[in-house]
Amino acid sequence: MQNDAYVPNFEQPKCFTNVHPQRLGHDKMQYLETTADAACEILKDKFQYVSDQLELNNKQHQALKGPFVSYLQKHVVAGFNSSCYDIHWRKHTC
């Protein structure tokens, strides 16, 4: 059974470890961006018919294209019991 919540090739949990907080943050963000890019490509294919409709020469449609593409680029990341680690990491690396 396939779960549509997963991005192909990114189904397994990923653990990041590094003694250097800056490098840890970089590795984590790079992985998340790669996953988000893969998910966006899937969504672009899935919603191609919407993109085609927004290509019409209609000002109202053109105004919707930017927000629609922005929506496709959003990627939700959930970690089980990871918020305390993420908050601590963000305080020290950002």
Is the pTM value of this prediction over 0.85? no
Q: Kindly state the average pLDDT of the residues 86-94.
A: 51
Q: Kindly state the average pLDDT of the residues 42-65.
A: 82
Instruction: Indicate if the pLDDT at residue 87 is higher than 60.
Output: no
pLDDT for the residue 1: 42
Q: How many CB atoms lie within 10 A of CB 39?
A: 19
CA 29 to chain centre: 10
Residues 57-93 as b or e (16 or more Cβ within 10 Å = b): eeeeeeeeeeeeeeebeeeeeeeeeeeeeeeebeeee
